[in-house]
With several copies, the nearest count.
Chain A
Amino acid sequence: MNFGFSDEQDAIRDTLARMLSDHATLAVVHDCLETAEGFDSATWAALAGGGWLGLAIAEDYGGSAMGAVELAIVAEEIGRSLAAVPFAPVLGLATPAIQDLGTQSQKEKLLPGIAEGRLIVATALAEDGGSAPERVSAKVVQDRLSGRKSPVLFAADASFALVAALDEGGTVRLYLADLSDPSVSINPHDAIDRTRPAAEIVFHGAPVELLPGSDPAAIRTLLDGAAVLAAFEQIGLAERALSLTRDYACERQAFGRQIGSFQAVKHRLADMFAKIELARSNAFFGAWALASGDNRLAEAAAVARLSALDAVQFTTEESVQLHGGIGFTWAADPHLFLRRGWQLKAELGPADLWRERLLCDLANGPAAAN
């Protein structure tokens, strides 16, 4: 048994962390929050240049074919950096969907572009705010997609979208849609985290291609894998928020002392830490289940997500609180983490969806879930 990272994996983390701290500073995130665009294309390009976007893509398609654990490390560092980049939709969902469920020609068409950073594939699974793929009403008839998908993140920056829609038999499948088609229109939304611009995409009979492997069970597994990666991203985010708050508690003085010497502050920080570490333990199990193809992936993904959601919400809210008056000003950093935390919740759905996933999995036994 070995429930930790190897030296090679630690080295990967250090390299990426250095690169991100050069590019994706919190000042850049503040800037992205103010601009209409939101997206931090410079960091995305730097990630591509460093080979990070092709990490999990097979060598044949321009990637380096590393494993799920390495991808989890990248997710955690992206989360920690708060970089305004579409990591979760592109690397967490679109890439594995295309690679594991797509045809040879779909892979050839899209994977190299993803690895090189010149092609963003957005994920349009949710409708009307609900991201459970069981509740989809968009429909494909004769390879033409009609329906509304919302919210879609980074829609304006994407060339393609991975769309969940009903096939003619009424089964949810995944399709690839070219967003430059004139039958596609994009309506921007007002998101709590404007560094991940959200929109509604309306498809009026848009031409799409089916991912042939995307049966419902495969879609669930895809979402479980994405939830594990998202948990790492959430943990990175929560840990940075904690570290920021810890530093503030050591620096800020009141009543002649550092406020971190008061138990009200110290013990709250300890609670943040404990929640984050609990989430990390569950995420580790998720990464192992994802990497090893274990049949406890559904369970592992659900518990990883539930504890990550809890850790992020507690840590980011209390980070604002422990920063005192500064904490609820726009110019300060804590609200960036609060906003991103909600955004990461939005992407794969809130706790109640994952509680049901967990209980159904435990009730049916792990085998039935995959």
Chain B
Amino acid sequence: MDFSDSPEEAAFRAKASDWLDANATRRDGSEKAQDHFMARDADEVARARDWQSRKADAGWAGLTWPRAFGGRDATPIEQVIWNQEEGRYAVPPNVFLIGIGLVGPTVMIHGTDDQKTTFLPRALTGEDIWCQLFSEPAAGSDLAGIRTRARREGDEWVISGQKVWTSGAHYSTHGILLARTDPQVPKHKGMTMFLVHMSDPAIETRPIRQISGSSSFNEVFIDDLRVPDSARLGGESEGWKVALTTLMNERFSISVGRASGGARAEELIDLATRVERNGRPAFEDGEVRARIADFIARQRGLEFTSYRVMTSLSRGDAPGEEGSIGKLLLGKLRQEMGAFGMELAGTAAGISAKSGDDVARWRNEYLTAPGNRIAGGSDEIQRTIIGERILGLPPEIRIDKDVAFSEL
């Protein structure tokens, strides 16, 4: 049980920090809060590519990839250390997370030699930017319910359908796409995975505006997209198996990833000392104190849980279901903190006098938190995962398992 760096870890940290010092500027606190994985405009995409190619040249890209594929064979903890250190610098957003974290490892396992040679180096240098074309309007929690169809025509596949919740689709060059190729078999058995070019005119991308007002996701419409059979990743009808590899790597990436912002519970202490409640400083009110203390305890628990997950990853365990705990608790915590902050910041809850004031800050927290409770598997799905995969409870009764998809 040791919270500090081991000597090896300390050496790695020093090396990373030295290189970053020489190649980037320290953050000075004036930077705007922003999603670490999303570019806001083309200029930012260009700067992100430039930074990624410099990292790749110096051996800091794809840290946990095997050396054979241009990686550094780093441990999960080293990845975390890198993320911590890089987080201190004013660097562009990491729009390569899906390519390097999800697609790369999936191609390594299920790809042909050609696919590996074509895609892996370009993912590493940032030349290609990937997005994940899995979810659909009628297939969210139940991903295996996808309806996007891929029909074989000679040596080509013709793909039509609609994807949704696709981060970064509008600036991505490539997408990893799950499609149904055989509707005559049960739902989990008739899918196949493809690697597609987003620039194809058969693909149209539209941003989705969220309740916070910003747009991090897209709808993607695919209308008779033609791809060669060489775009198929893994065997025909083996798409679900391939998708599970991608999803496992997604869990891994989230586990070691830089936490995507969000307010610190301690900020509520500062707020409570500046505002009044019932005619006294709010921080003197017992209920305010109780709620803030409980928020802090829960937030610390989430932070330390992520260290436990990393420890188990670094011992070589597969990225397991423990990640569901953090996932389950994070969104609700942020939502409660947002609501509390908004209310604390003024009786006129939710009414902001000027952009960037306390109300605006906590309101944004409150309106983005619902996304945490849904995206990447809803709270309800996380509870089922914990119940069935960790606690070993009997599964839900499934009426759709052995029926042909076309009969559902």
Which residues of chain A have a CB within 8 Å of any CB of chain B? 1-5, 9, 69, 126, 128-132, 134-135, 150-151, 189-193, 198, 200, 242, 246, 249-250, 253-258, 260-267, 269-271, 273-274, 277-282, 284-285, 287-288, 291-292, 294, 299, 302-303, 306-307, 310, 313, 317, 320-321, 324-325, 327-331, 335, 338-339, 342-343, 345-346, 349-356, 358-359, 362-363
A257 to B, closest residue via Cβ: B399
Instruction: Chain A residues near B396: list those with CB within 8 A.
Output: 255, 261-263
Choose, from B118-126, B196-204, B224-232, B274-282, the stretch at the interface: B274-282
Q: Counting CB contacts under 8 A, is B153 at the interface?
A: no
**Contact among B165, B290, B391 for A246, CB-based, below 8 A:** B391
Separation of A162 and B378 alpha carbons in the complex (Å): 46
| A269 and B391 form a contact (CB under 8 A) | yes
Separation of A350 and B142 alpha carbons in the complex (Å): 39
A321 in contact with B373 given A190-B351, A292-B3, A346-B347 (CB within 8 Å)? yes
Instruction: Chain B residues near A281: list those with CB within 8 A.
Output: 300-305, 307-308
| B301 and A270 form a contact (CB under 8 A) | no
B291 to A, closest residue via Cβ: A355
| A285 and B355 form a contact (CB under 8 A) | no
Separation of A292 and B4 alpha carbons in the complex (Å): 10
Minimum Cβ distance to chain B for residue A168 (Å):
23
Additional 10 contacts, C-beta under 8 A, given A253-B145, A329-B210 = A190-B355, A257-B397, A263-B384, A265-B380, A282-B304, A320-B211, A324-B141, A330-B211, A335-B211, A355-B290
| A345 and B349 form a contact (CB under 8 A) | yes
Identify the interface centre among B266, B360, B386: most chain A CB within 10 Å of its CB: B386
Chain B 355-384 against A: per-residue CB contact (8 Å), 1 yes, 0 no? 100011001000100110111001110111
| B311 and A2 form a contact (CB under 8 A) | yes
Choose, from B66-74, B172-180, B335-343, the stretch at the interface: B335-343
Instruction: Chain B residues near A287: list those with CB within 8 A.
Output: 1
Q: Counting CB contacts under 8 A, is B393 at the interface?
A: yes
| A126 and B301 form a contact (CB under 8 A) | no
Separation of A330 and B212 alpha carbons in the complex (Å): 8
Q: Counting CB contacts under 8 A, is B133 at the interface?
A: no
Minimum Cβ distance to chain A for residue B129 (Å):
23
Separation of A2 and B4 alpha carbons in the complex (Å): 8
| A325 and B297 form a contact (CB under 8 A) | no
A358 to B, closest residue via Cβ: B293
| A1 and B9 form a contact (CB under 8 A) | yes
Instruction: Chain B residues near A131: list those with CB within 8 A.
Output: 347-348
Instruction: Chain B residues near A335: list those with CB within 8 A.
Output: 211, 367
| A278 and B350 form a contact (CB under 8 A) | no
Instruction: Chain B residues near A255: list those with CB within 8 A.
Output: 141-142, 145, 396, 398-400
Instruction: Chain B residues near A320: list those with CB within 8 A.
Output: 211, 370
| A267 and B400 form a contact (CB under 8 A) | no
A359 in contact with B209 given A2-B1, A321-B373 (CB within 8 Å)? no
Cβ contacts A to B, 10 pairs, < 8 Å: A132-B347, A192-B367, A271-B383, A282-B297, A284-B304, A292-B4, A306-B297, A324-B141, A346-B351, A359-B289
Q: Counting CB contacts under 8 A, is B408 at the interface?
A: yes
| A331 and B4 form a contact (CB under 8 A) | no
Separation of A343 and B350 alpha carbons in the complex (Å): 7
State the total of A-B contacts with C-beta under 8 angstroms. 302
Minimum Cβ distance to chain A for residue B304 (Å):
4
Q: Is the interface of A mostly helix, strand, loop or mixed?
A: helix
A324 in contact with B269 given A307-B298, A329-B208 (CB within 8 Å)? no
| A302 and B297 form a contact (CB under 8 A) | yes
Q: Counting CB contacts under 8 A, is B20 at the interface?
A: no
Separation of A292 and B3 alpha carbons in the complex (Å): 9
| B374 and A325 form a contact (CB under 8 A) | yes
A151 in contact with B348 given A1-B311, A192-B363, A281-B305 (CB within 8 Å)? yes
Instruction: Chain A residues near B302: list those with CB within 8 A.
Output: 278, 281
| B3 and A261 form a contact (CB under 8 A) | no
**Contact among A3, A246, A249, A307 for B297, CB-based, below 8 A:** A307
CB-CB contacts below 8 Å: B126-181 with A: 135, 138, 140-142, 145, 164-165
Instruction: Chain A residues near B297: list those with CB within 8 A.
Output: 282, 302-303, 306-307, 310, 358
| A274 and B210 form a contact (CB under 8 A) | no
| A279 and B6 form a contact (CB under 8 A) | no
Identify the interface centre among B277, B297, B387, B408: most chain A CB within 10 Å of its CB: B297
| A285 and B312 form a contact (CB under 8 A) | no
Choose, from B26-34, B57-65, B96-104, B321-329, the stretch at the interface: B321-329
Q: Counting CB contacts under 8 A, is B24 at the interface?
A: no
| A277 and B322 form a contact (CB under 8 A) | yes
Separation of A202 and B314 alpha carbons in the complex (Å): 55
A356 in contact with B370 given A1-B3, A256-B399, A270-B386 (CB within 8 Å)? no
A266 in contact with B387 given A4-B315, A317-B335, A325-B375 (CB within 8 Å)? yes
Separation of A256 and B370 alpha carbons in the complex (Å): 25
| B378 and A350 form a contact (CB under 8 A) | no
Identify the interface centre among B287, B396, B408: most chain A CB within 10 Å of its CB: B396
Instruction: Chain A residues near B300: list those with CB within 8 A.
Output: 281-282, 285, 299, 303
Instruction: Chain B residues near A280: list those with CB within 8 A.
Output: 308
| B210 and A328 form a contact (CB under 8 A) | yes
Identify the interface centre among B141, B286, B314: most chain A CB within 10 Å of its CB: B141
Q: Counting CB contacts under 8 A, is B395 at the interface?
A: yes
Instruction: Chain B residues near A324: list those with CB within 8 A.
Output: 140-141, 374, 378
Instruction: Chain B residues near A284: list those with CB within 8 A.
Output: 1, 304, 307-308
Separation of A342 and B348 alpha carbons in the complex (Å): 9
Separation of A34 and B253 alpha carbons in the complex (Å): 37
**Contact among A126, A249, A299, A307 for B393, CB-based, below 8 A:** A249
A278 in contact with B349 given A266-B383, A330-B213 (CB within 8 Å)? no
A278 to B, closest residue via Cβ: B301
